[in-house]
Structure 1
Amino acid sequence: MKQERLAAPPSSELDELCINTIRFLAVDAIQKANSGHPGLPMGAAPMAYVLWTRFLRHNPATPDWFDRDRFVLSAGHGSMLLYALLHLTGYDLPLAEIKKFRQWGSKTPGHPERGATPGVETTTGPLGQGFSNAVGMAIAEAWLSARYNRPEHSVIDHFTYCLVGDGDLMEGVTAEAASLAGHLRLGKLICLYDDNRITLSAATDLSFTEDRAARFAAYGWHVQTVNDGNDLIAIQAALEATRTETYRPSLILIRTHIGYGSPHKQDTFEAHGSPLGVEEVRLTKEHLGWPVEPAFHIPDEALRHFRLAIERGQQEETEWSGRFTNYERAFPELAEELRQVIAGELSVGWDTLIPVFAADPKGIATRVAAGKVLNAIAAQVPQLIGGSADLDPSTHTALTGLGDFQSPTVHTDDHQGATGGAWDYSGRNLHFGVREHCMGAIVNGMAVHGGTIPFGATFLTFSDYMRPALRLAALMGLHVIHVFTHDSIALGEDGPTHQPVEQLAALRAIPNLVVIRPGDANEAAVAWQVALEMNNRPVALILSRQNLPTLDRAIFAPAEGLQRGGYVLADVTGGHPDLIIIATGSELALALAAREKLDDHNIRTRVVSLPSWELFDEQPQEYRDEVLPPHCGKRIAIEAGSPQGWHRYLGIQGEVIGVDRFGASAPGEIVLREYGFTVGNVCECVLKLLEWGKD
């Protein structure tokens, strides 16, 4: 463990001046915008001040310095607290941006957005997401330190701090993540709870009266309570205590007063989500001894004190760079690998390990093929780490022989993990338990931390549990990979509760999320290649439970066409097709079988594989017109899911063979037959469409 920074004297007039500077920067910005949440910044300013000036290791001049401590404002509605801290400590966030809070094009949006503001680690606002991201960051730090640190050479060694509110702790995703964090004993995760007991509409007494301290203690957390949110000495002591608690994550419950200092709105829900109002701002400033004018007043003495963060940060980063240089001399190969994973680069030649599957009419499920690909490349993609929501045997996402990520203090009868590796933070198999929502949020946190390419796996129908995290991953452009298996009604006997229908359409509706539904083993292999190379947006791989024929690529077009989202799989010889059949996933083989049958009727068809709408839509118009020629308007799409969205590819003379109702419990082949996914029904639909076109 590195040397800790010497703390400043616990409390002084300067401290009070600095805390009020934070408060009134927030109040003035919110009042100018006539929009925002002043209550949290006013109440939580003391705890944030102590953390940022006495504990947090960061360099405002280099916001992405890798061994910095991470700070997450999970209660993202209090964004002006974070913006005030970033401006005051010297980040590239000038006062002019503070004055443009919540305005078009500013660096100070209503809730913190990764990429919009220097120093913002992750996008927060939907409550509970930031907390769960912080768990992911702590997992990433623990894994990287276990993999790369060596005795006398500690180059990954930092804390993750998170400020949470009452709403965060009410959310179910927080319960999931807190339970897992306690199990994993993430001792470098520290959460400060702004315990103001007020929500947007009322006091928490109406809906939230459990013993929060006892709950987190039961999860396995180190829990402390500070009874006065303005007691800097107590806050500092509590934070110091977390540094010695290495085997449990920490929660500090700090009793605060929302809207602190406001004569009429302190401790009321009116301070939560609306500006104080011109008159109340004046009264609050007078009450706390602050100049009423000018707005956005920053005392020189306070600014000088905050800006010490620049010099401290530079010193801390310089000291770390020296340690890294020594590490590099001692372990050059390991250091080079670490540089590579921090930069988000893949090793040269990793893709040569992607297997090619031989043609096989019996074939294999794409979930099985994808699992084979995953294990073939894992050794050459060291930053690839992930797991499933208790479904490894079904999703085929276990990394064989690469160990389980588990606390070294956890023991089983044989001291072995589920995949045969010793209990260790260096293991690459994450076990999320039956916790889909936190799995999505945790892999987001791992991605924003850096140094990892995380993946999570579950059944496609349960992607609904993860939707808020999926949406935020897409919003942030994170390199995360989601493996969704059991992709249709074909999964069979488990019935409609487990058979996805609307999920594909719902995922495709998320901007910036790449959805890929491969149609055979080789498309699954290319899909993994695309997912690993897609470093600026999340990817969802949609995989089958049932076996699919492995197509003979000597006859049909190469599977690499998947890289463009869609491609001509089989075509007519000379001339134009009478009709185009478009399919994805398991229905690709059905489309080819129907094509063969239609050929007996002298109906010339082109089959297009369209595994990814997003990738296809990004291709030049010329290419898209080559695949789906405008002059060939008769088209049929086949997909065992909701037809919603398909008409964009079909024109006015198109039909969709899809699923517009829930599934049923029966063997998969019977369900498919009863829902019309047969060669006979496809051919009948084609004949009707061609007859309709003659009228």
Structure 2
Amino acid sequence: MAQEQNIDSLCINTIRTLAADVVRGANAGHPGAPMGCAPLAHVLFKDYIMANPKDSHWPNRDRFVLSNGHACALQYIILHFMGYKLSMDDLKAFRHANSLTPGHPERKHTDGIEVTTGPLGQGISNAVGLAIAEAHMAATFNKPGFDIFNNFTYVIMGDGCLQEGVQSEACSLAGHLKLGKLIAVYDDNHITIDGDTALSFTEDSMKRFEAYGWHVQILENGDTDIKGLHQAIAIAQKVTDKPSVIKIRTTIGYGSLHQGEETVHGSPLSEDDIRQVKEKFGFNPDEKYVVPQAVYDLYHAIGARGEKACKQWYDMVEQYCQKYPELGADLKRRLKGQLPNGWENVLPRFTANDKEMATRKCSEAVLTKLVDIIPEMMGGSADLTPSNNTRWKTAVDFQHPSTHLGDYAGRYIRYGVREHGMSAIMNGIGAYQGVIPFSGTFLNFLTYAWGAARLSALSKTRVIYVMTHDSIGLGEDGPTHQPIETLALTRATPNMLTLRPADGNETSGAYLVALERDDGPSVIALTRQNIPQLEGSSVEAVRKGGYILEPESDANPDVILVATGSEVSIAMEGAKLLQQKHRIKVRLVSMPCTELFDEQSRDYRVSVLKVGVPVVSVEALSTFGWQKYSHAQVGMTTFGNSGKYTDVYALFKITPEHVAEVAIQCINFFKKEGSVPHLFAEFSPAT
């Protein structure tokens, strides 16, 4: 036992001294939390977490999330110890440009990182999604004698995480769902950037978690009580009908001259302080980046343990496939990230003779077809199910079986009024493997969820945001609910697709694109009001982002109208006025996705938005950004108004008549100028 205690102490103190060196080497970062959390992280990985560094995407691995991502030196060090693709040179490059050790953990960037954390509260919320996905996959695939999915999700979180609202939303839902394989460890070090938490955070957070329905434990000494850490985690593992949280009192910067103070939170330790830390823990103060071989040996054994479990799992899956060939084939397909053969053939097709329909209803029709052929699609809504039309008629709710409201095999999640939590949870579901999440709210409330939505893009996670009530067209609810600036934000965000379909065919095309892309989120913006099915619209053309909807009678239009969503039909009526009343030749372009249009070759783009021809854009949202694609804009420059949607459109002059008026003004202006500025410079490359 003494020898085991010695190796534990050696590993913990190696983490502490190495964290001090790593942060000092970057001259930036957070040494305090890694030094304080070293014991609990060591116990987690040494005795509980099952993972395989040689197969970091093994589907049944335990998931570890560092919600207080500023402490990432801790995670990088342990990944290095275990043998992930993270060398000592990578640790020395901590926070350096283009390194594998950025200032906060990034999914798909560093081997072994499950989710992108840093903005506080996101990690624990992602972990709820990971636990939901595990429970769902287990209920879907597990059979007697074949526990294909039974992994735990472990989280370390800090005081800052518990103060963020998104955490409260997600943890409240986790308690309701009784996610027994979710275990969170709360690093209670009483320090934030401003100083002691007594300044602003004096609630009894564990009573709050008890009220949420979590199992709660409190450990007073997280600095040295290794036995207590073991016992607490072991107890949490045995609680199967509740998520667990363990509050552990630690000392931030343990060993530093300034331990327990905010000065060790966000700044490197001084060289003199690091020297005395090393002396205190029995290390040579003249040496840097030291890892004793015994530490490597122990952590390599942890990795070998995971490697053995991984091999046994794959062997079990082969036996499972022999006994349950259909389920086994579906399991393997989903884990490879492959969609079912021919899935796109079920997408609904519409003609101009079909009845007018809101695109939110078109979306419902599309989803109803897709969920049957793509069983990994898992949907939900932030308490707007009847408005978002995200629930299909045969859906079963994802609920703990004890509630008799559904079961864990269910694929529809009732998120409640929790837009931010919903989006963060979806990021976790999407990161798990084998599940594709989609969920809805009003487009205006995407900004409630923006912290998580931005991370969907940054972490390259396939998440589908079904956003209804997409413009001033929602009418009577007024400007508090009418999005104006939202799509300017989503279009400005890297690695995020913004899709605003004009009818049923383009709605099918929006889902086609969103599902084909597995490395980022898509925002599908849908109407509340009915709009016509358009002649010339195309499912496949959405892949181009923009296309000619009504080719003009010859190749030389006088003006081009480009529009999105519900305004395409308005632009179409405006084009008829121009053609019939003024004998003006018009090209009508539908632009469901500007980002996809930007990806096309310059030749294609200028074939659609012809050089030398005035272009007028029409969209019932902010005109910001449309200057890239048009010379004049019909749209919103103020917030909206409350009233019947037809009256609101008329109030803001988003009408066929005004579209025609602006087009004529634009033509006349450039005739007087003598030329029309190019929208795409000669050197402009496809993105």
What is the TM-score when the length of structure 1 is the normalising length?
0.95
Residue 277 of structure 1 pairs with residue 260 of structure 2: no
Work out whether residues 11 and 233 of structure 1, in 8 Å CA contact, stay in contact via their aligned partners in 2: no
Question: Match of 1:584?
Answer: 564
Quick check: 1:676 aligned with 2:653?
yes
The runs of 4+ residues in structure 1 deviating greater than 6 Å are none
Does residue 461 of structure 2 align to residue 478 of structure 1? yes
Does the C-alpha gap of structure 1 residues 251 and 433 become closer, same or farther in structure 2, counting only changes over 3 Å? same
Partner of 1:238: 232
| Counterpart amino acid of residue 255 in structure 2 | G
Write the distance in 1 (CA, Å) between the matches of 2:539 and 2:218: 59
The correspondence of residues 72-83 of structure 1 with structure 2, limited to 5 A, is 72-83=65-76
Match of 1:313 in 2: 306
C-alpha distance in structure 1 between counterparts of 2:331 and 2:575, whole Å: 51
Query: Secondary structure in 2 aligned to 1:79?
Result: helix
1:658 to 635, 646, 665: 635
Conserved 8 A contact 1:90-1:309 = no
Q: Name the structure 2 match of 1:113.
A: 106
Equivalent residue number for residue 366 of structure 1: 359
Give the distance between the partners of 2:64 and 2:2, measured in 1 at CA.
23
Q: How far apart, in 1, do the equivalents of 2:199 and 2:312 lie?
A: 51
- How far apart are the structure 1 equivalents of 2:671 and 2:368? 52
Map of 2:243 onto structure 1: 249
Partner of 1:151: 144
Aligned letter for 1:304? D
2:409 aligned with 1:426:
yes
* 1:498 to partner: Cα distance: 0.5
Give yes or no for contact 1:518–1:584 (8 Å, CA) kept in 2: yes
Q: Secondary structure at the match of 2:394?
A: coil
Partner of 1:454: 437
Q: Secondary structure at the match of 1:582?
A: strand
- Tell me by how many angstroms 1:14 deviates: 1.1
Output the amino acid matched with 1:57: M
Q: Output the amino acid matched with 2:499.
A: I
Give 2:543's match in structure 1, choosing from 550, 559, 563.
563
- Percent sequence identity over aligned pairs: 45
- In the other structure, the counterpart of 2:84 is 91
Question: Contact 1:138–1:186 (CA<8 Å) still a contact in 2?
Answer: yes
Distance 1:551 1:92 in 2: 52
| 1:62 match | 55
Match of 2:218 among 222, 225, 229: 225
Partner of 1:508: 491
Deviation at 1:326?
1.7
Q: In structure 1, how many angstroms separate the alpha carbons of the residues matched to 2:239 and 2:354?
A: 58
Query: What residue identity is the alignment partner of 1:429?
Result: Y
1:560 Cα deviation from its structure 2 partner = 2.3
Gaps of 5+ in 1: 1-7, 418-422
Match of 1:536 among 519, 528, 544: 519
Question: 1:693 Cα deviation (Å)?
Answer: 2.1
| 1:287 positional shift | 2.5
Amino acid aligned to 2:610? P
Q: Is 1:621 matched with 2:602?
A: yes
One-letter amino acid matched to 2:547: Y
Kindly report which structure 2 residues correspond to 1:244-393, keeping only aligned pairs within 5 A, or say none: 244-263=238-257, 265-360=258-353, 362-393=355-386
Distance 1:668 1:347 in 2: 40
How much does 1:492 deviate? 0.5
In the alignment, what sits opposite 1:439?
422
Residue 617 of structure 2: which of 632, 637, 648 is its match? 637
SS in 2 for 1:577: coil
Name the CA distance, whole Å, in 2 between partners of 1:158 and 1:10.
30
Structure 2 runs not aligned, ≥5 long: 673-687
Q: Deviations over 1:50-77 (max 9, x none)?
A: 0000000001111111100000000000
Distance 1:148 1:64 in 2: 18
- How far apart, CA to CA, are the structure 2 residues paired with 1:278 and 1:609? 62
* Count of aligned residue pairs for this structure pair: 670
Tell me how far 1:371 sits from its aligned partner. 0.6
SS state at 2:145 partner:
coil
Q: Corresponding residue for 1:607?
A: 588
State TM-score, norm by structure 2. Answer: 0.96
2:683 equivalent in structure 1? none
SS state of the match for residue 405, structure 1? coil
* Residue 314 (structure 1) shift: 1.5
In the TM superposition, residue 362 of structure 1 has moved relative to its aligned partner by 5.0
- Aligned to 1:399, what secondary structure does the other structure show? coil
Native 8 Å contact 2:505 2:537 kept in 1 = no
1:136–1:445 CA contact under 8 A, matched in 2: yes
Matches within 5 A, 1:26-41: 26-41=19-34
Amino acid at match of 1:305: L
Task: Tell me the SS of whatever aligns to 2:53.
Answer: coil
